[in-house]
Structure 1
């Protein structure tokens, strides 16, 4: 009996040492389609006939065609040629070209480039009079968030809150949904019960998610059981057979007086055993993340909560 108690204590100690956090880190991504961009109006007035004849204007028009078809690399390089050819004194057109470059980087998910280009552009001092100011702020907010600069993303969000309070509310909810912050989501559900999709998402997630601690406990008691719990049958069988083989080998060596071989085999088994506990927890976490992504993506799309779907203008 004492030996059995000791085994259980060792199992729980192992679980404590190799505990996987319950917090999920989902990857909920959205890629915009060219059809959607073409449905959005342009933010700037079209080029005049004389501007179209100038070298910079020709490059600008070509760049716009590339951008509309999401040929973003060629769009960026052509917009930059247009910027280079633009004569001095065309401040508004300069801001327009630089914005189109930022938008192209943003749609290509090159967030670091967005922030670097912004700092060195005329847009750095843009105000609400800039036609695409709303979209510029949305682009900057997500870009700073994606590169991990929370201080600047919060600053941009405060600016958005001042000028466009409804957009700020949507962005806050969007961030919580994309990051999978379940505590914040529950708070949002309590604050605004009218958003029934949050309740449905959380209810379905809670009903179908796997317990990380349960997966680890099961795998500590019977190697492979934790993997079976999360639906990974092949991994469960592999873990069970490997652990069983090493345990049998270790017992065989000890009972036949081969102490050194028994110690070596036991060390290998310890690695497989403790690694299996950690792996089962990671598998449960992975299962929950994929489950959350599957539930969150449709709601983010349907309710236009991806930041890119909050843009008012295209190219």
Structure 2
């Protein structure tokens, strides 16, 4: 009889463990981080870049489109990008059909404004509606346009078109392509690819040190979830969220205590209801601890990568050759 009870208890333990693992698997948190790495772009940087296109003539200045174009350029140079786009669009509408080159120049300036404003979907939409898909190396900003398109297509997840732009960069501007490829590997991030692309570059040592430091400082998502599964709140404490850890511990303890009280006093319905609430908090806490670990890793990577990339000007925008 004792043996049967012992076997029965062992079976129940296995069932409970299976249920626990099954529930935890339903709350899977992706390991891949999605950091928001930003560059610091100042007006003086754009001032350092030479204008892409020839100044408009005195005759063009007297035309309505020419007036709008000059105003748009002034807005763009001041980084007032919203008004610059609106004014460039008016110039694009007013410019005569025979001035095909000027129309292309205006369309490019609109795309550049969207890119500087990090409106990557607008970059793609504007490009695909323009006549710029027919240009070649003879167009002044062909180099810059490829950078803008590669970065933008990659940001919106259109890998096929991003790779097409990158192939054109590799074919026509191989050194730029290498730098841009490394930049995007760091931004995404694709750490193994970044380590490979950084080899034999002036910034290899600092990038390697940065990636090693990140590997040492990042938190394990699975460990955070496991800790929170064994002791509610421990996973949050692991990633430095002390208030969340205390809240999780107290709420789970409160529900467990309440459920125990109800069951001991024969209030089965109240006990079951309280237990259902506890299950929600318990498994939600496991999922939340995993998310907090991922957020922690994202913040750590953002801080480290932003510092290195801004120092070496590795963002795609810093490879542009022309301004407004």
**Do they superpose with TM above 0.5?**
yes
Structure 1's unaligned 5+ residue stretches are none
1:226 & 1:193 partners in 2: Cα distance?
40
Identify which of 258, 271, 291 aligns with 1:249: 258
Aligned-pair distance for 1:249? 0.8
Aligned to 1:28: 37
Q: TM-score, normalised by structure 1?
A: 0.92
Secondary structure of residue in 2 paired with 1:28: coil
1:16 & 1:120 partners in 2: Cα distance?
45
Aligned-pair distance for 1:52? 2.4
- Matching of residues 200-215 of structure 1 within 5 Å: 200-215=209-224
Identify which of 178, 181, 189 aligns with 1:172: 181
Q: TM-score, normalised by structure 2?
A: 0.90
Moved more, 251-260 or 12-21: 12-21
Identify which of 46, 61, 80 aligns with 2:70: 61
| Matching of residue 156 in structure 1 with residue 161 in structure 2 | no
Identify which of 284, 292, 298 aligns with 2:307: 298
- Matching of residues 61-140 of structure 1 within 5 Å: 61-140=70-149
Aligned-pair distance for 1:192? 6.5
Aligned-pair distance for 1:273? 0.7
1:65 & 1:189 partners in 2: Cα distance?
38
Secondary structure of residue in 1 paired with 2:50: coil
Structure 2's unaligned 5+ residue stretches are 1-5
Identify which of 270, 285, 288 aligns with 2:297: 288
2:232–2:248 Cα contact (<8 Å) kept = yes
1:50 & 1:276 partners in 2: Cα distance?
69
1:20 & 1:193 partners in 2: Cα distance?
36
1:12–1:217 Cα contact (<8 Å) kept = no
1:171–1:307 Cα contact (<8 Å) kept = yes
2:29–2:221 Cα contact (<8 Å) kept = yes
Cα RMSD, aligned residues only: 2.2
Q: Quick one: structure 1 residues 17 and 116, their matched pair in 2 at CA, closer, same or farther if it must change by over 3 Å?
A: closer
Residue-pair matches, total: 315
1:215–1:280 Cα contact (<8 Å) kept = yes
1:28–1:296 Cα contact (<8 Å) kept = yes
Q: Quick one: structure 1 residues 139 and 194, their matched pair in 2 at CA, closer, same or farther if it must change by over 3 Å?
A: closer
